[in-house]
Each structure stands twice: as C-alpha cells, then as structure tokens.
C-alpha cells in the first residue's frame, strides 16, 4: 500500500514539474491568466476594415486581455513588424468585441535550441494603426511614394524594391529616405 501511495505521489510531482516547465517562458502576469482566444480571426469595423488573426489572448483578472504572438526564429528578439502585427490584432479585437486590450503585449520567440523567451512590447494606438493602413492604401494607389527600409534585406521582399533601388545613394547614407 505504501508503494502505491509513493508511486502516486511521485507521479503527481512529475506532472507538476512538467506543467511548470511548460509555463516557464510565461511572464508572471500571464501565469494565472486564462486563455481567452487562440488562433482566432477578428474583423474590426472603423474608418478602415481590419482583419487580424490572434495567436493568443490571455484574460487577466477577469477583464483585460493581453496579446501574445508566437514566433520561431534564429535571433531572440522582437521586430518592429511584430509590434505592428500585435497592434493590428489589438485594434481588430477591440473593435469586434469591445473588450479591453492592454497597451502592451508579448512576442514569444522560440529559438533553434528550443528555448522560449517572452519579450514585452508597447503597442500602437488605434489611430496609429489606422494611419499605417491609410499609408499602405496610398502607396498601393500611387498617391504617395514608398520609403526605403533601413536594411536592404527588408527591401528584397518588397514589391516596390525595383522602384526604390534607383534611389540608393553612395557614401554614409545607405538609402535616401523618400518624403511623403
């Protein structure tokens, strides 16, 4: 009988240890939060229609949602594009549901070695997200010119790369900034 009790206790300890390991990457404020949304699409109406898919949204203390974006990459850091992505998710979620969503979120980076790190990032306001949407529309309709990225690798994937390449300048400035 004592052997069965000991085996059950050891099994329980192992289960607790595994659960703790699964949440080790989580920031303290999310460890007691409940998962509200996972892989859910939101459509927000407003000055511009916005659709965004939320990786994870956790409800803290029964009210505020905190967004989490999961990334797998070599470098263990968030990018500005992650902030834009989370900000768009925030605006779409708020506009569809009316829920309160925090002005910060987390980019959880899983590196090649399997480690996960949560990076806290400040999010853009709804007005800033709307301005980015308007700017994209203006670039696509040709009413304004795109600006060059600070890193040439970013330009390689852009549909406007050929147009911008002719604007590159020599010397200390790697790129000439377009004005809008």
Does residue 175 belong to any structural domain of this protein? Answer: yes
Q: Is the same domain home to 134 and 153?
A: no
Residues 161 and 132 in one domain: no
- d(C-alpha 134, C-alpha 66), whole Å: 26
The DSSP element (H or E) to which 2 belongs, if any, is: helix 2-22
pLDDT band at 12 (very low <50, low <70, confident <90, very high): low
Residue 13 within any structural domain of the chain:
no
In a domain, 41, yes or no: yes
Residues 6 or more apart whose CB falls under 8 angstroms from that of 80 comprise none
Give just the sign of the alpha carbon dihedral 128, 130, 136, 137.
negative
State the pTM of this model: 0.74
pLDDT for position 147:
74
- What confidence tens digit (pLDDT) does each residue in 114-139 have? 889 999 999 999 999 999 988 888 88
Distance CA 2, CA 77 (A): 50
Q: What is the CATH number of the domain that holds 39?
A: 3.40.1350
Average pLDDT over residues 78-101: 95
Same domain, residue pair 95 and 124 = yes
Count: domains in the chain: 2
Would 10 be classed as within a structural domain?
Answer: no
| Residue at 17 is within a domain | no
Q: Which residue from 135, 159, 155 is spatially nearest to 168, judged by alpha carbons?
A: 155
On whether both 169 and 117 belong to a single domain, the answer is no
> For residue 139, is it within any domain?
yes
Domain that holds residue 152: 145-180
């Amino acid at each position: 009988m004592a052997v069965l009790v000991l085996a059950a206790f050891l099994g329980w300890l192992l289960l607790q240890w595994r659960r703790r390991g699964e949440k080790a990457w989580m920031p303290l404020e999310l460890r007691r939060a409940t998962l509200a949304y996972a892989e859910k699409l939101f459509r927000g109406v407003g000055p511009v229609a916005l659709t965004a898919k939320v990786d994870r949204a956790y409800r803290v203390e029964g009210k505020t949602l905190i967004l989490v974006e999961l990334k797998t990459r070599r470098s263990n850091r968030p990018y500005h594009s992650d902030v834009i992505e989370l900000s768009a998710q925030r605006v779409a979620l708020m506009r569809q549901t009316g829920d309160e969503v925090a002005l910060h979120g987390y980019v959880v980076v899983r590196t090649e070695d399997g480690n996960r790190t949560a990076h806290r990032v400040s999010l853009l306001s709804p007005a800033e997200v709307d301005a980015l949407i308007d700017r994209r529309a203006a670039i696509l309709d040709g009413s304004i010119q795109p600006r060059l990225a600070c890193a040439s690798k970013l330009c390689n994937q852009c549909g406007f790369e050929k147009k911008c390449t002719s604007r590159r300048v020599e010397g200390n400035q790697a790129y000439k900034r377009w004005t809008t």
